[in-house]
Amino acid sequence: MTVPNVSLPTVLCTGTTKVEISVGGRTESKDLVFECIKVKKVFDEFVLRDCVEGIKFKVCGEPHGGTIEPTLILRNCKLSNVEIKDVSTNADKRLKFSARCCCDVFGKDSRGKIIRLEVIDVPEGTNLSEGPSGELCFTFSVRRTYPNVTEENFERLLHFLDQGRFELQCFGEAVIDEENNTTTGEILITNLGAFIAIKFDAEVQLCVPVLGYCAIEEDVAPIDINFCEEFEFEDIPSFNPPQLGVPTPPYTTG
């Protein structure tokens, strides 16, 4: 696609401004210096789900009690066959996202030991499949509609596509049937539900007012192996600050 002479709006990021802040019950006037910072801007994100019965895993280890806990760990998720197209109509501004997301799969036994699981077979009829090295893969093709985006802002979004200045990322979470999680030898046949989150972002430079710089304090904590194993199962936090302005979520899928 070609989007000539379109770019994000820029400003001269120099000079200072003043702001009043409250310190100990009294108001002080402080100078703010304008700084240019480089950040990742999330332009869109969405979550897909799928479920399959009868998926077969190879269990690369000996789980205690012969069972795998219901919550799985999906790591090292990578996208292939990525395609993003402008499929807008006269009535709607739309983008089509297509790709295949593959993740390494790990499980946890009743004692917390992390065990690699390799996908051997996935029944047909879902978007899930096995990867070349035992990954769990999710193939998707989604049309996203942006009803609140102005023509100008949508053209800027297309500019990032035209320049190749974007990154599509995928993240995954999965659970298996807790009533069907017993291994037979090195094989586990169970039911699985998966969530795949897709983020479409690009690197931008923002001009922001800066009050000052924070002191960096490093705390050295003793290594706790049990804690580190448990940390692998912590919920993934949101890495996105609150987004202001247009486009305003939620978007619709069309």
| pLDDT score, position 2 | 34
Give the C-alpha separation, 207 to 21, whole Å.
Answer: 21
Give the C-alpha separation, 34 to 48, whole Å.
Answer: 40
Instruction: Say if residues 147 and 251 touch (Cβ distance below 8 Å).
Output: yes
C-alpha of 216 from chain center: 28
Q: What percent of the chain has pLDDT over 90?
A: 49
Bridge pairing between strands 71-86 and 167-176: antiparallel
Tally Cβ neighbours within 10 Å of residue 168.
17
Please determine, for residue 5, whether its predicted confidence score (pLDDT) is greater than 60.
no
When pLDDT is averaged across residues 52-65 and rounded to a whole number, the result is: 94
| pLDDT score, position 249 | 43
Please determine, for residue 33, whether its predicted confidence score (pLDDT) is greater than 80.
yes
Give the C-alpha separation, 74 to 65, whole Å.
Answer: 22
Give the C-alpha separation, 235 to 125, whole Å.
Answer: 29
